[in-house]
Each structure stands twice: as C-alpha cells, then as structure tokens.
Structure 1
Amino acid sequence: MAVTNVSEYGVVFHPETAPTKAEIIARAEAIAPTLVARQGETEERTFYAQDTHEEFLRAGFYRILVPRRYGGLELGIDTFMRVVMALTRGCPSTGWMYCLGHAHALVVASLFDDRTQAEIFGDGDFIAPATVMPSGTAARTPAGDWVLNGTWNYCSGSPYATHFIGHTLVSPAEGEPPAPMLFIAPRSEWTRLHDWGKQLGLKGSGSHSITMLDGIVPSNFTLNSHISQISVTAGTPGRDLHGNPEYGGGQLSFMVIEDAVLAVGMAKGALDAYEDLMRTRTTAFPPSMGRAEAPDYQYWYGKAAGMIATGEAAILNAVQQWRDTCALGPSAVTQEHEMRIASICHEVVDLCWHAVESYLFPTAGSSAVRQGERIERVWRDMSMFHSHAGFAVFLSTIAKRELAKARFGVGDDAHA
C-alpha cells in the first residue's frame, strides 16, 4: 500500500494556520463518536479505514509529535495523549493503532541527529510501529549500511506506516557477543503480512507482522542500544537541536504512559455504553424501574465512574510529571523517576480494568455483552491488553522491583 501524505489532500500546515493544542484535541473529540459505529468493520478489516486515515491526515494527528523544524506541529505529549484517549474512547482498535503508529515520532525527534531526522520526517507526517523483541539478522554492506532479513511480530500501526522501528542483534566487534541494535526501516524496505485479526481482542489495531528480505537500512538510521535501555541523563541530540525539553525525556516512561492512556480511553468507552443502558433499560427483577432510578445500578455506575475518573486523573498527572521532569534538565530523568511513572501507569491500567471487569461487564446484562456489542468489545480488548508483555511482564512485575532497586541503590553492580 502506498504511503499517503497530508499534502496530497491539500493540507499544508503553516505556522500561522497550524492548529493549537485545544483545536486539535477538539478535532479528536469530534471524530471519536463517528468511530463507534465502525468498530465492527474495523475489526473485520483488521485496521481502520482509508477515509479515517485521510481524516487523521487532514486533522494533523500524524504531526503532533513531529518537530516544527520538519513541518510538524510539535504540540507535546499532553496533546498527543489526550487525542489518543479521545480516539480510543470511540474505538479501542483505532486508538491503539493510531497511538502505536505515531508515538514513535518522539523517539526519532529525541535520539537522532539533524540529518537523520530530516531524512526520516520528510514533509511532516510520521507513522512507525515499533517492536521491542529483537529478531532477524543484520549484515554490513561495503558502504557501512545494514542489510536486514527477518520477521517482526505485533507491529501495531503498520497498514499506513511510513517507517518501521525494530531491533535485531549484532556483534559490536568480532568475537564479542551479540547486542541489541535499534533500526528504522523506510516503508520501501519491508512488507506487511496479512496475519492479524484472529486474536481475542484489538482485532482492528493493525498489529500485523512485518517482514524484510534484504532490506537496506542506512547506518545513521540505527542506534547501538535497545529502546528500553537508552539513558537520556546526559542529554539527547533532539533536546539540543529543537530547544524543546520534551525531546530529552525518558523513552521508557513515555512508552508506558501510552498503555495507561489507552486503558483509560477504553474504560471511558465502556462507561459510555453503560450509561446508554442506564437510560434505556429497566431492571430485571421487580419492582421494575429504569436502571437510572435503581439503587444497585446507581452504585455500579457510580463506582465504575469514580474508578475510571481516578485513573484519568492519575495518568494526566503522570504526563505532567513527565513534562516537569524534562523541564528540570537531563539529569532529572533518573531510573527512579522512570520506574515511578511506570508504577503509576500500572495502577491506572489495573483500576480501569477492574471498573470494567468487576462492575460494568457483569451488570450490563447478557444482551449487552453479545458479540459485537460495545461493552463486549471493550472487555475483549482490555483482556487482550492484559496479555501484552508491556503490561503483563514489565508493568506488573519488573517495574515494581526496579523502582525499589533504584530508590535503595540496589543493583547488579551496587557492591562491586
């Protein structure tokens, strides 16, 4: 599929006409309700529609995190996260696919030099799924670039992607053990497989596999590290280049903030559906009355609403903590800070899941949780979410231990 470009649709963002943060969030909130009725077709297709993609292009959603220097909007992670939350509320699959497609503009804008960013961002729009599991093989060309072969799974956002960010293992020097290398592959160098849609949930998230057969990746499109292990405490090229502290923020904490924002968006969608039932359905046992008048339903709705609102408040505060820490300078982005943000994110996801799983899903009624119903879909999507390694392994277990180790100065080399 050819990669589209916002200028093809007659939209070019000049500084004097570029949307503000409030305007672009309002656009997302206006689009989100239209996604609700299209959830079924999105799942069947396994990704959101071409006309939805074009609407996102016109709205500027694929430029939110791209630096202004390259035609982007540079509106910050707070704007991006609110757009993600709004879109996910309308359709979890659409929100997931958009989020994990555009989020990695922050990686490029933070970690690569001016030449590389200019080549990658092109005229402003950027969509790049990323995976953390190293796969495939890489060999040097005579010119010093890389030839990659292999398949990378769970590439959310791949259908309309301009690039792919992956990892492979290479030996830093002859005789040394392989170590992770991050690479950015242009769209011309890989193929999307048609292998998504049979999973329990998030069937429309565009999380297909990507395969490369002798794909060429320029050497300046690589970093000798794993994205989860990159330290920014000494500064980043992007922070210096753009004069924007957010391009010097913690990469790992930014990624897990995405998880929590997606969970809040999903839970808010389930609460919307439950509210419709409160207004239109009656109680199952006498005395018969509208659910909105029934004390039990009032409690179930109020309990879930409070849990979801608490999750939203917590993650928006975590976003602000992330931004405040960026503003303090590179040395403030410590391992303890990263893991504290991660721990907040786990609690947010857990809170939203329990609001849906314990209060909304079981009391909505059997007819409201049939296949294709909105609450049923959110339950499937959030269940699928729980199998994601970022939540099930990292946030649930590793982040807790790493926070304590960072706080108490305990580590593998603490007593060396």
Structure 2
Amino acid sequence: MSVVPSDPQNVVQLPPEPHLTPPEVIARAKAIAATLVDRQAETEQRTFYAQDTHEKFAEAGFYRLLVPQSYGGYEFGPDTFLRVAVELARGCPSTGWMYLFGAAHALPVASLFQAEAQDELFADGDFICPATVAPSGSAERVDGGWNISGVWSYSSGSPYSTHFLGHTLVPQGEGEPPAPLMFIVPRSSYKRLNDWGEQLGLRGSGSHSVQLDNAFVPDRFTINDHLSQLSIADGTPGQKLHRSTMYGGGPLSFMLLELGALAVGIAQGALDAYEELMTSRTTIYPPIVLRTEDPDYQLHYGEATGKISAASAALFGAVQQWNDLCEEGPAAFTREEEWRLATISREVIRLCWDAVEGELFPTAGSSAIRHGARIERVWRDLSMLHGHAGYAIALKTMANRELAKAHFGIG
C-alpha cells in the first residue's frame, strides 16, 4: 500500500511501538490465538472475550492496525489486519469475530469522515467501533445535529467498544421514502444491553445490542448515506487527510471481505481439531489403525485442506486486488468492482463451509461433536456465519444481481 506525503502542518502522533512491523503483529496473533483454544467455553459463558485477552490485544497493537498514523495508529492495511483476524478466529471463532467487527471500522471512519470529526474520534489511539447496517431507531433534527434514540442489535465488539457506528432513517418530503443517516457516537452516548449468548453459535462474540436514549449527535458525526451504498468515485476525505491510499478504498467490498476472513480462520480451526482426532483416535472397522493411516480419513483431510487453502488464496488475492484498486484511486471502485470483489468472498465462504460441513464434521465421529467439543463448537460458529445476512442475503443473492446490473448498466 503506497503512501503520499503528509500535510506538513499535521502533527503526527507516534504509535506505542514506532518500529513494529506487520510480520511481528501477525506472529503475535498466532501466539495469542494458541492460548484461546482452551478458553472457548468460558468465552461463550461470558458472551465476550476476557479482560486480560482485551489487554493483550491492546498491548499487541491490534486496535491500532487500521488507525491512521497521524493519530498514533500503525496504518498497516487490510492484508495485515485480516491475517490477524484469521489467526484469532482459528483459535476461537467468537474472539476473532468480536475482534474483527470491533476493530475493522477504523478504516471506513478514517476514509469517510471529515478531519474535524476524526480529530475527536481517534484522539485516544485505540479504536473499537462495532457497526450495524440495518437502520433502526429514530432521529429528530435539532440545532447543530440530531437527537437519536433506539436499539441496534448485533453490535459485535460492543463490550470493549470506544464508539458505535449505526444507521437510522430520517423523513424526507411528502411522498418521498425516508433516507438513511449514518452516524457515529462515543461510548458515553450509548448503553450495552445484556442480550447475547443464547444463539446457536458465536455465543462469545460480544454481539450485544446497543441503546441510545435521545443522544445528541453533531452533524460532523453524521453522513447522509448508507455505508453499503456510498459512492467514493469523487474521492474521500481520508484520501486527502492521510498518507495511505487505503483510505480511498471501497467500503462495501472491504466490509464483505471481512466475512471471508472469518470463514477462513474458523475453517482452519476445524481442520486443526480434525487433525487432533486423526492423530489420537483409531478407525471403527478393521483394520483398526490410527486415522492418520486410514485411506478414507486421509481423503477427507486432504479434500478439506485443499478447499480451505483455496479459500485462503482467493481471500488474500481479493485483498490484493482491493489494494491495487486503491493505487488507481477512488474512481476505480465502481459498483461493478465492489460487487465483483464481494462475489470472491462468497466463494471463499462456500469453500470453507463445504470443507467443514461436507468433509470434517460428518466424519469426526459422534463423540467428537458432543457439547463442548472443539469441532462441535466450530461447526456451530461457522453455521452462524453461513446464516449471517451478509452472506445469506448480500453475498448469495444481492451480489449476483447487483454485479450484473452494474456490468450491463441497468438501473
């Protein structure tokens, strides 16, 4: 990811470790992920990852990976950020999910909001901002901004959040449909509800609802549009404010690539669990040998490995394409390109689901899928991703139609 000269009048804050490198951050993620495997049950019970895990993430710099350098961030880019998320999801899907959807939104915030807002939003360096795309609540126009009230569900990352990014609908002229309003608020403006943990999977993902009660949101913290519909063809504030070209990237495609990264990490965790079973358990029917020596288990393991490896290659190939479009400039992020990249993420998730649902889960054995077993939990978690609206609705249906319409210039 290239950089452009910084504004000489802009005072750049140094991050805690100025010489930290992307490989070092990824290595830290791998080391921490190894400690998360045995803590999955407690994470589910708590409904979010532990305070000491949060502190390790902060110390490792994970909450600054996408924060601009001018605000004390590392500005490492999507490749490093998503590789960290993959490793964490591999160790604990709930933890990886909660981390990614808390830390990812530093990128759109740094891209889309004006300097005055960013100076406040990134003042503390670490940035954890869950976001929801489903409009909810209500907004009343007041002098200098809006009073916003409502409840926004599925705000993954909310337990340790510093901000929240949401959408609501505001009335237009008579006979006109309401228009979306995107807004961001600091932690002092909302309350986290205790309403998560009873779902099939991802019970520890910290996907609680947040509630605003007549919170004043100044105009500088709002954008009259929806995150998934924003056009950046004419450039972004972040493109002009910051050194990295990633702040002129497409928010829709990046948002949907995030799901692919989580699928890859979760599927790799399933493969790890399956490998443990292969090296510790024997076949049921003669000849009684370790599963590693059985041709059928070898076949299932190899089939799953190939699909997950292909998914990983497709994911990071798409990330590189996203970076390449950033180099060309915001105008390169047409709706067609945004949706084309999104369809790659769809295929990434399909490959991961096929590997786990088709190869690993049905051949692991009933004793390995009892409650609390790693592969049982991983299957539940990936099932939740498979049913997530970002995949089941946006990627499986909308993406195809929107890509075709954009390509043929329809509507």
Which TM class, normalised by the smaller chain length?
over 0.9
Deviations 1:332-363 (A, max 9, x none): 11111111111111011011001000100010
**Could you tell me how far apart the structure 2 residues matched to 1:386 and 1:74 are?**
30
Partner of 2:299, secondary structure, is: helix
Match of 2:185 in 1: 185
Deviations 1:271-307 (A, max 9, x none): 0000111111100100100100100000000000000
In the TM superposition, what is the alpha-carbon distance from 1:140 to its structure 2 partner? Answer: 2.2
- The one-letter code sitting in structure 1 at the alignment partner of 2:292 is A
In the TM superposition, what is the alpha-carbon distance from 1:119 to its structure 2 partner? Answer: 0.3
In the TM superposition, what is the alpha-carbon distance from 1:384 to its structure 2 partner? Answer: 1.1
- The one-letter code sitting in structure 2 at the alignment partner of 1:282 is T
Q: Between Structure 1 and Structure 2, how many residues are aligned? A: 399
Alpha-carbon distance change, 16 to 199 in structure 1, aligned in 2, over 3 angstroms = closer
The Cα RMSD (Å) is 1.3
Gap runs ≥5 in structure 2: 1-12
Match of 1:8 in 2: none
2:250, 2:338 within 8 Å by CA — same for their partners in 1?
yes
1:129, 1:165 within 8 Å by CA — same for their partners in 2?
yes
Partner of 2:231, secondary structure, is: coil
Written as runs of structure 1 = structure 2, the 5 A alignment for 1:139-178 is 139-142=140-143, 144-172=144-172, 176-178=176-178
Between 1:241-250 and 1:57-66, the stretch displaced more is 241-250
Match of 1:240 in 2: 240
Match of 1:44 in 2: 45
Taking structure 1 as the reference length, the TM-score comes to: 0.94
- The one-letter code sitting in structure 1 at the alignment partner of 2:43 is T
Partner of 2:154, secondary structure, is: strand
Taking structure 2 as the reference length, the TM-score comes to: 0.95
Match of 2:359 in 1: 359
Match of 1:6 in 2: none
Deviations 1:110-155 (A, max 9, x none): 001111111001121100110011111111223x221111111000
Match of 2:113 in 1: 112
- The one-letter code sitting in structure 1 at the alignment partner of 2:213 is L
Partner of 1:302, secondary structure, is: helix
Written as runs of structure 1 = structure 2, the 5 A alignment for 1:273-312 is 273-312=273-312
Alpha-carbon distance change, 264 to 181 in structure 1, aligned in 2, over 3 angstroms = same
**Could you tell me how far apart the structure 1 residues matched to 2:239 and 2:37 are?**
38
In the TM superposition, what is the alpha-carbon distance from 1:18 to its structure 2 partner? Answer: 3.8
**Could you tell me how far apart the structure 2 residues matched to 1:391 and 1:123 are?**
33
Over the matched positions of the two proteins, sequence identity in percent amounts to 62
Gap runs ≥5 in structure 1: 1-11, 412-416
1:186, 1:217 within 8 Å by CA — same for their partners in 2?
no
Asked whether 1:101 is paired with 2:102, we answer yes
Match of 2:4 in 1: none
**Could you tell me how far apart the structure 2 residues matched to 1:154 and 1:98 are?**
14
Partner of 2:228, secondary structure, is: helix
Partner of 2:140, secondary structure, is: strand
- The one-letter code sitting in structure 1 at the alignment partner of 2:115 is D
- The one-letter code sitting in structure 1 at the alignment partner of 2:104 is A
Alpha-carbon distance change, 46 to 268 in structure 1, aligned in 2, over 3 angstroms = same
1:233, 1:331 within 8 Å by CA — same for their partners in 2?
yes
**Could you tell me how far apart the structure 2 residues matched to 1:247 and 1:173 are?**
34
- The one-letter code sitting in structure 1 at the alignment partner of 2:50 is A
Written as runs of structure 1 = structure 2, the 5 A alignment for 1:330-341 is 330-341=330-341
Partner of 2:361, secondary structure, is: helix
1:18, 1:73 within 8 Å by CA — same for their partners in 2?
no
2:200, 2:380 within 8 Å by CA — same for their partners in 1?
yes
Deviations 1:296-337 (A, max 9, x none): 000000000000000000001000000001101121111111
